[in-house]
């Protein structure tokens, strides 16, 4: 059987795309066309091949360049619809910026993917919205019901697409087998070895579609073979959207509090504050940040504080899939801030566990997570003003300057004047005094003595808090030179916060 393939890039419409008059026209076309997902012709049954596509990094583009992205997406849709249609494909569903197409034969599906990638690669995208599309091909026998497909073949296609990078096309062993030698001229299916996928019983061979002129080098696939099974997360400093820049301490402190709560949840690995805070105030690419921090998930957000009212927005991003797992906003009184922190922490832990297990936790697991988060949040002061001074102390202490450390000591002392039983404030005071003594910013003997007293008080008031043992460890190490005692304290802190690099 002879099959003729058209793999040339689709017609060039750069002038239309870039022209100022094109934006409204393309936007109108985009709105109408993407809504028309149901195929006009009957969908094929039996053994078919699926082509799944997805734009990498689309979340950031929509957030930062919405108008450019709207126009670019319209062009993206036109190119893919043309490539799929030319090779007898049917688009049976769209979702967000993803296309789900089906073909009667594997060779036609592969040719459509190649034509689509060539067209996308040849296109001159708006500078603010360059599109990189990942694709996946899989062949199987699904169930067709109500103009939609169900079954394992679709699951495998979805797993493949999630493992791919922008501009990369992955091909399953089944599709490669059904293509045989019937490949477009110049096309190569490069073996990437066997890879393990979530919910699949055993590793499966994966191939990459290669063609002259298309990108060929990509990072390792995002599969279970290279991903730590432990849920990992970094909490980035929340942005301060308050009119008063002096409220920066509150946004940063809230982020650190969330980090500390998550670090105390067993089964979750949390990047250190020092590493995460290095990206503060910088333009970031979430995937690049996650790679540098060796985590998969990022928790980001913003805080707007006005008087005793606070608005907190938080978002949990799965950087491996470039998708938002969860987001929410809270408008509360400052007195209710701990409930907001617990709500965010509980939602994050639940989403991480669901992503790992591939199923929604049941009622018992929900109750367990709630109990863990509540326990992890122990040690807080119920005095809102004391809590505010504590956050200010944490903020100034992190500056590691003579002036900043002195302000930190003052803030901790003011917090303790309002709440003498505040274990975390005692721990913070001890750490700040050790910093002052170590740098000889104050007489060391006096400062070390006060630091030791504060650490002992912290441990007595908060024996289940890792921060108190960390404070004691610093005193034993810097004042007493008691390395064994310091090691014991730090190990105890890590037992209480196993996911943290606190100590």
pLDDT tens digits for range 388-404: 899 999 999 988 899 99
0.85 surpassed by pTM: no
Q: Between 51 and 320, where is the model more confident?
A: 51
The pLDDT-based confidence of 4 (bands split at 50, 70, 90) is very low
SS3 content of the chain, % helix, strand, coil (to 5): 50, 20, 35
What is the residue-averaged pLDDT of the chain? 82
Spell out the residues 6+ positions from residue 370 whose beta carbon is closer than 8 angstroms to its own.
Answer: 346
For the chain, give every residue range classified as CATH 1.25.40.10.
Answer: 384-496
Q: Shortest CA distance to 324 belongs to which of 380, 286, 365, 270?
A: 286
For the chain, give every residue range classified as CATH 3.30.70.1230.
Answer: 24-210
Q: Return the sign of the alpha-carbon dihedral for residues 248, 251, 256, 259.
A: negative
* The CATH classification of domain 384-496, taken from the options 3.90.45.10, 1.10.1740.10, 1.25.40.10, 1.10.1530.10: 1.25.40.10
> In CATH, which superfamily holds the domain spanning 232-376?
TolB, N-terminal domain (3.40.50.10070)
CB 501 within 8 A of CB 473: no
* For range 25-37, the mean pLDDT: 39
The pLDDT-based confidence of 425 (bands split at 50, 70, 90) is very high
Q: By CB neighbour count within 10 A (0-12 exposed, 13-18 middle, 19+ buried), where does 219 fall?
A: exposed
For the chain, give every residue range classified as CATH 3.40.50.10070.
Answer: 232-376
**Distance of CA 116 to CAs 51, 96, 135, 323, Å?**
11, 18, 10, 23
CB 370 within 8 A of CB 343: no
Cα–Cα distance, 379 to 497 (Å, whole number): 14
> Which string of b and e fits 254-285 if b means at least 16 CB within 10 Å?
bbbbbbbbbbbbeebbbbebeebbebeeeebe
Q: Which CATH architecture has domain 24-210?
A: 2-Layer Sandwich (3.30)
CB 287 within 8 A of CB 322: yes
3-state secondary structure of 137: strand
The pLDDT-based confidence of 443 (bands split at 50, 70, 90) is very high
CB 69 within 8 A of CB 58: yes
Q: If you search the block for the tokens 């360049």, which residue do you land on?
A: 65
- The DSSP bridge pattern shows strands 239-240 and 297-306 to be parallel
Tokens of 115: 């034509």
């Amino acid at each position: 059987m002879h099959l003729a393939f058209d793999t040339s890039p689709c017609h060039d419409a750069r002038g239309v795309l870039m022209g100022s008059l094109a934006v409204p026209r393309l936007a109108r076309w985009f709105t109408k066309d993407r809504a028309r997902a149901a195929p006009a012709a009957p969908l094929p049954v039996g053994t078919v091949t699926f082509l799944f596509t997805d734009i990498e990094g689309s979340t950031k583009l929509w957030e930062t360049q919405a108008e450019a992205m709207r126009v670019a997406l319209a062009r993206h849709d036109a190119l893919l619809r043309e490539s799929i249609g030319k090779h007898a494909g049917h688009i049976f569903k769209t979702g967000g910026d993803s296309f789900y197409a089906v073909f009667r034969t594997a060779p036609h599906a592969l040719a459509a993917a190649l034509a689509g990638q060539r067209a996308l690669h040849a296109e001159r995208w708006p500078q603010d919205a360059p599109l990189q599309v990942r694709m996946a091909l899989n062949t199987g026998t699904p169930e067709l019901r109500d103009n939609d497909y169900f079954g394992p073949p679709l699951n495998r296609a979805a797993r493949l697409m999630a493992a791919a990078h922008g501009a990369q096309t992955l091909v399953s062993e089944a599709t490669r087998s059904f293509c045989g030698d019937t490949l477009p001229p110049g096309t190569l299916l490069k073996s990437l070895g066997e890879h393990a996928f979530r919910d699949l019983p055993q590793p499966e061979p994966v191939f990459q579609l290669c063609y002259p002129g298309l990108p060929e080098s990509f990072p390792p696939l995002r599969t279970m073979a290279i991903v730590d099974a432990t849920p990992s997360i970094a909490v980035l400093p929340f942005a301060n959207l308050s009119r008063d820049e002096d409220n920066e301490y509150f946004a940063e402190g809230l982020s650190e509090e969330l980090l500390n709560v998550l670090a105390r949840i067993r089964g979750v690995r949390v990047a250190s504050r020092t590493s995460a805070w290095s990206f503060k105030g910088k333009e970031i690419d979430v995937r690049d940040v996650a790679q540098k921090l060796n985590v998969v998930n990022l928790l980001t957000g913003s805080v707007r504080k006005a008087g005793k009212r606070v608005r907190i927005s938080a978002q949990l991003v799965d950087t491996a899939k470039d998708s938002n797992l969860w987001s929410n906003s809270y408008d509360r009184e400052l007195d209710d801030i701990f409930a907001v922190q617990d709500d965010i922490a509980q939602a994050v832990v639940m989403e991480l566990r669901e992503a790992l297990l591939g199923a929604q936790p049941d009622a018992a697991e929900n109750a367990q997570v709630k109990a863990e988060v509540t326990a992890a949040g122990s040690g807080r002061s119920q005095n809102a003003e004391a809590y505010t001074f504590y956050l200010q102390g944490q903020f100034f202490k992190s500056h590691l300057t003579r002036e900043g450390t002195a302000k930190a000591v003052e803030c901790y002392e003011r917090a303790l004047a309002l709440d003498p039983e505040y274990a975390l404030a005692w721990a913070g005071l001890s750490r700040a005094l050790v910093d002052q003594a170590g740098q000889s910013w104050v007489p060391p003997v006096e400062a070390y003595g006060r630091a030791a007293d504060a650490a002992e008080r912290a441990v007595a008031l908060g024996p289940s808090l890792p921060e108190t043992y960390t404070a004691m460890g610093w005193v034993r190490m810097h004042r007493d030179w008691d390395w064994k005692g310091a090691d014991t304290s730090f190990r105890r802190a890590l037992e209480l916060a196993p996911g943290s690099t606190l100590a």
